[in-house]
Amino acid sequence: MAYSRINVEFLYEGFNFKLDDYICSFADSIEEAVEEFKKIFDYYRGALVGESVFFGEIVVNWGQYFKQYNMYRGEYELHRYIKILIALGILSFQKRSNWTVISFGMFVNPKTEGNQRLFFTRRQDAVEYAKLSGWFIDEVFQYSDQIISGDKLKEA
């Protein structure tokens, strides 16, 4: 079966999803791709985002992400989590106005299967990710003018 690429936005269980240039090897139509994505989300939802929508915003369980990261590093399981975070708009391929985490001068944000760097769309996710990573963090910064140095994370 040839790979299909889809672009679609949809609402499911109170969450807004946007699949841009989403690759689907399992679907012949957008409807099939959306249904399959919903199944994946249902399976991982409790572990990753829980039931948490706080004041209208999704609360990501970054502690659970790091458990999965340590268990499935580089494996398809972890990349399914990342695909959900991209579809929810928590992670983005766009650098401008988004956040990154630096450790020992290296970017440590999540990456795609193809090792493409992703960026946090929300400050609080970048800060929480940095705090829970267990790595020495030089800084968390937004590609604009806001920089949080590693020693200031506790206050953030």
- Residues 28-59: tens digit of each pLDDT: 777 887 888 888 788 777 666 544 555 567 78
> What would the mean pLDDT of 140-147 be, rounded to a whole number?
74
Beta bridge pairs of residue 146: none
Residues 78 and 96 both lie in one domain: no
pLDDT at 52: 57
Of 3, 2, 5, the residue nearest 30 (C-alpha): 5
What distances in angstroms separate CA 126 from CA 20, 51, 108, 137, one per listed residue?
22, 20, 10, 11
- Specify whether 74 is located in the same domain as 109: no
Tokens encoding 33: 């791709």
Which domain range does residue 81 map to?
A: 1-89
55-71 pLDDT per residue, tens: 567 788 888 888 877 77
Q: To which residue do tokens 């959900």 refer?
A: 84
Q: What is the pLDDT of residue 47?
A: 62
Q: What is the pLDDT of residues 91-137, one digit of tens each?
A: 998 888 899 999 988 888 988 877 889 999 999 999 999 998 888 88
Phi and psi based region of residue 137 (left: phi greater than 0; alpha: psi -120 to 50; beta: remaining): beta
* 56 lies in the same domain as 82: yes
Contact predicate 79/111, CB 8 Å? no
What is the band of 1 on the pLDDT scale with cuts at 50, 70, 90?
very low
- 6 and 71 share one domain: yes
pLDDT at position 2 is 47
Helix (H) or strand (E) holding 78: helix 76-87
10 pLDDT above the threshold of 50: yes
Tell me the pLDDT tens digit for each residue of 78-90: 777 888 888 888 8
Phi, psi of 106 (to 5 degrees): -115, 145
**Packing angle between helix 62-72 and helix 30-48, nearest 10 degrees?**
100
Between residues 117 and 142, which one has the greater pLDDT?
A: 117
pTM of the model: 0.73
Q: How many independent structural domains does the chain possess?
A: 2
Q: Which of 57, 89, 121 is the last residue of a domain?
A: 89
Residues 28 and 50 in one domain: yes
